[in-house]
Structures are given as structure tokens and as C-alpha cells.
């Protein structure tokens, strides 16, 4: 039996039965349910009300065909998804991912995690997620536009500023959000905050682009300070990925005194012992949409290595910011052996359960994704507020709110870990703290909603 509690084992068995073969989703559910052992002991009312039984089943799951025509005039067909997991505390909110690995399991794992993450921000947003197995890499702007328009033609029937507000994620940045927003407006003839991550000229928020990476560093900084009286100052930092989250985590970690020496993409990683030159990375990734390999051609002294292996670089702080299950038990062993003091997840579920167990056992400070990367969705919620008010706040105002939110998330997670006898285990703390508000709202709202 994986669980001490018979009740939790029963819930998990049923989830396995209903979602056969959906590995990522089952992994995410198992991790959360494990944290609930002390909760079900302390709160029989939650068990009686069937809160957890309801929580693991999405309120709605939408799958649809996305046909589009490529530049050669050929018809292409992709698959689109939106999971509306839980709306107990607010409209569904969560990103859209365009990547060939997207499937029902990936979308459901992300949507499930989003429930707790959104609750942790303290803002009124429910959990959702969506995307497609479409790969924007190597496509022309016109192809991406036609795909986005077709995708939104169906998605528009299910979302709305007070119903479900998608944002970006892997493969969905400012370009894709713009094309989808344009299509929504055309179809509905309304200018509302139905998507976040919008361009600044049509309702976007300052600091949204930077928010996940910055937020990750604010969280990590608070964790370092509160748990070990440490900081980023003079620390060597390794960050995986080289997309939106990785770029702005690099920027903030550097501002806070750290030296970021490595970044990666799905082909390989670069090492620059002098500290990453972010202007070069931004030019390659944001302007040219190129590969991280090109960094080594442009920056003398830096080295590119093909393949995985970024975690073999010696560092004090590791920030995985690429994708799920990118850091396994063996990687954790190497990081620990090399003296890592803190790991915080910018990506969603980047560490395998084995890796997490090893970090916790070795006393490495560990910031789980749903707490550490919540800055993106928090700032998306701030974008929603600005859209409703028809106002724009300054960069400094948004950044200050973001910082405050991340500090609160750390302390709420830490305090919950203490309250339930697991002091310092932020995996359990974040799950429990995120769950508390959702469970309370579900109790108040009764069963048949």
C-alpha cells in the first residue's frame, strides 16, 4: 500500500482505475495525496464531505480537433485540450502549452497542480490548463497564426473573462497570445480580459513577462533567508531551460548577487564560468528564436555540450526551469554530492519523486513548483484586475505586489509544514496550505455544483 490511510489509498486506486496509463497525472495526484495523510487524520469533516474524492476529478475536460492549413496548402490536424479542474475559489485560470508531448495526462497533471498553486497566491482564481500537441518550432508566423485562430475558434466556446482565463506556457508566448486574442475578439465582438500575457498595447500587464522567473527568485531568496540565513550573494547557480522562465530567473538571480553559469534547451546545455551574458541569450531566444548552442559560438570561453547533463555542473543553487521530470534521482545524487544547498522549481514537476525524496532526506532546501513558480499566475491575476478596472499599473507596483505574494507563499507553506508536524517540508506545506482554502470553499458551496 502506498498510503497509510485506507481512505487515501481508496481515492488513489479509483484515480488509477479511471485514468489508466496517464502517468504524469497519476504522479501529480500521488504526490498531493501523500501530503494529505496528516490532514485526513485531523479533519474527518473533509473526508465525510468527499472533498478529496471530488478534487481529483476535473469539473470539465474538453478535447477537440484543430484543423489548419500549412504554407504548402496541406491540411494538418492537431488535438486541442482544456481542462477546467476546479472553480471553487474563482474562474479557471492556467496556461496553454503547445508542444508535441501534450496529451490528456500532461494537461490533467498541470491542471490539477494549478488548483493548489492558484490558491496559494491568495488571489481568487480556480485551476485549469490547456494546450495542443502542435509544435510551433520551425513553423512560419503565418502557420502559427492559422493554427492559433483555429484553436481559438473552438476554445472560445468554453472560456470567458469570468469563466476561464487562459495564459501562456511552453510554446505559447506573446506571439501566440496575440493571435488567439485577435481571434477571440473577432468571434465574440468583445474586448475583455479573456487571456493574460497579452501585449502591453492591448491590455497586458507590465512585469507579466518577467513574473515567473522573478517570482521564483523572490521565493528562493526568502527560503534561503528564513531557513538557513543565506542568500543568492556569491552563489553559483545552474538554471535549466532557456525560455521565458529561465531567462527572467537568470536576470533576477544575477541581480540578487548570484552567478548563473549554465542554461539549456532540449538539445544540450551551455556552461559559462564567467556568468551568463543574458543579452546574448535574449537575442538568440527572444529575437532570433534560435538554439542555445549558438551562445557558445558568440561568447568566448563558454562551452556547449550536447545532451542532458546540466545537473553535473557544480552549483550552490539549482533552478530547473524547462519541463516535467527533467531532474531524476541520479541527477539529485550528483547535485547533493557537489554541495547544492537549495533547489527551487521554476518548471512544473521538473523533479521526479525519487529526486525530491533525496533532496529532503539530504536536508537540501526544496521549493516545489506550485509554490516557487506561482508568480506567473499571480501576475496574470493582477493583469485580470487591471483589465477589469481598465487601468494599467506601473512596473514597480506590479513587481512589488509579486514580491509580496511570493514571500507570503513561502511563509504560508512553511507554517503549514510546521502545523502538521513536517517542519521544513515545503512539498507537504504547499499542498496543505493550497488545499485549505479550496476545501473550505467547496464545503460552503455544497455537493452538486
Chain residues binding ligand NDP by CB under 6 A are: 168-171, 212, 241-246, 265-267, 321-323, 326, 346-348, 373, 376
Exposed/middle/buried for residue 79 (C-beta within 10 Å: 0-12, 13-18, 19+): middle
CA–CA separation, 36 vs 41, rounded Å? 9
Residue 372 in grid coordinates: 516557487
Q: Based on CB atoms, which residue is closest to ligand NDP, 183 or 242?
A: 242
Residue 281 Cβ vs ligand NDP, minimum distance, rounded to whole Å: 10
Q: Based on CB atoms, which residue is closest to ligand NDP, 219 or 435?
A: 219
**Position of cell 523572490?**
218
Residue 269 Cβ vs ligand NDP, minimum distance, rounded to whole Å: 9
165 touches 180 (CB < 8 A) = no
CA–CA separation, 124 vs 416, rounded Å? 20
Residue 293 Cβ vs ligand NDP, minimum distance, rounded to whole Å: 10
Length of the chain: 449
Strand partners of residue 367? 344
* Vertex 378: Cα angle to 439 and 107 (nearest 5): 70
Residue 39 phi, psi (nearest 5):
-70, -45
Q: Is 185 annotated as catalytic?
A: no
Q: Cα(first)–Cα(last) distance of the chain, in Å?
A: 33
List 129, 252, 285, 437, catalytic entry: 129
Q: How far is CA 98 from the centre of its chain?
A: 14
Tell how strand 126-132 and strand 75-86 pair up: antiparallel
Residue 165 Cβ vs ligand NDP, minimum distance, rounded to whole Å: 14
Catalytic residues: 129
Amino acid at each position: 500500500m502506498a498510503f497509510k490511510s485506507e481512505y487515501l489509498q481508496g481515492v488513489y486506486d479509483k484515480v488509477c482505475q479511471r485514468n489508466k496509463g496517464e502517468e504524469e497525472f497519476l504522479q501529480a495526484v500521488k504526490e498531493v495525496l501523500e501530503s494529505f495523510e496528516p490532514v485526513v487524520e485531523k479533519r474527518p469533516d473533509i473526508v465525510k464531505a468527499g472533498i478529496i474524492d471530488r478534487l481529483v476529478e476535473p469539473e470539465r475536460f474538453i478535447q477537440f480537433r484543430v484543423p489548419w492549413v500549412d504554407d504548402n496548402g496541406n491540411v494538418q490536424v492537431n488535438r486541442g485540450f482544456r481542462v477546467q479542474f476546479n472553480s471553487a475559489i474563482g474562474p479557471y485560470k492556467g496556461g496553454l502549452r503547445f508542444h508535441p508531448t501534450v496529451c490528456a495526462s500532461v494537461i490533467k497533471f498541470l491542471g490539477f497542480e494549478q488548483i493548489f498553486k492558484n490558491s496559494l497566491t491568495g488571489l481568487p482564481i480556480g485551476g485549469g490548463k490547456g494546450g495542443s500537441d502542435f509544435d510551433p518550432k520551425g513553423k512560419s508566423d503565418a502557420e502559427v497564426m492559422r493554427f492559433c485562430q483555429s484553436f481559438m475558434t473552438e476554445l472560445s466556446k468554453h472560456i470567458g473573462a469570468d469563466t476561464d482565463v487562459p495564459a501562456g506556457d511552453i510554446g505559447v508566448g506573446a506571439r501566440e497570445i496575440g493571435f488567439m486574442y485577435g481571434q477571440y475578439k473577432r468571434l465574440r465582438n468583445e474586448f475583455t480580459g479573456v487571456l493574460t500575457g497579452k501585449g502591453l498595447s492591448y491590455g497586458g500587464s507590465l512585469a507579466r513577462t518577467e513574473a515567473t522567473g522573478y517570482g521564483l527568485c523572490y521565493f528562493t531568496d526568502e527560503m534561503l533567508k528564513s531557513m538557513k540565513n543565506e542568500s543568492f550573494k556569491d552563489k553559483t547557480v545552474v538554471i535549466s531551460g532557456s525560455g521565458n522562465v529561465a531567462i527572467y530567473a537568470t536576470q533576477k538571480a544575477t541581480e540578487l548577487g548570484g552567478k548563473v553559469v549554465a542554461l539549456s534547451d532540449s538539445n544540450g546545455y551551455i556552461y559559462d564560468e564567467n556568468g551568463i551574458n543574458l543579452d546574448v541569450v535574449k537575442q538568440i531566444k527572444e529575437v532570433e528564436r534560435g538554439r542555445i548552442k549558438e551562445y557558445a559560438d558568440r561568447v568566448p570561453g563558454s562551452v556547449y555540450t550536447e545532451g542532458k547533463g546540466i545537473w553535473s555542473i557544480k552549483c550552490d543553487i539549482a533552478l530547473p526551469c524547462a519541463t516535467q521530470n527533467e531532474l531524476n534521482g541520479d541527477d539529485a545524487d550528483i547535485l547533493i554530492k557537489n554541495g547544492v544547498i537549495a533547489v527551487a522549481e521554476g518548471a512544473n514537476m521538473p523533479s521526479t519523486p525519487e529526486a525530491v525524496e533525496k533532496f529532503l532526506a539530504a536536508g537540501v532546501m526544496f521549493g516545489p513548483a506550485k509554490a516557487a513558480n506561482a508568480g506567473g499566475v499571480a501576475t496574470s491575476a493582477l493583469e485580470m484586475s487591471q483589465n477589469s478596472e481598465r487601468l494599467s499599473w506601473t512596473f514597480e507596483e506590479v513587481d512589488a505586489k509579486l514580491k509580496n505574494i511570493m514571500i507570503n507563499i513561502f511563509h504560508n507553506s512553511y507554517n503549514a509544514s510546521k502545523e502538521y508536524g513536517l517542519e521544513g517540508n515545503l512539498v507537504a506545506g504547499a499542498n496543505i496550505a493550497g488545499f485549505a482554502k479550496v476545501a473550505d470553499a467547496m464545503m460552503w458551496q455544497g455537493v452538486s455544483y
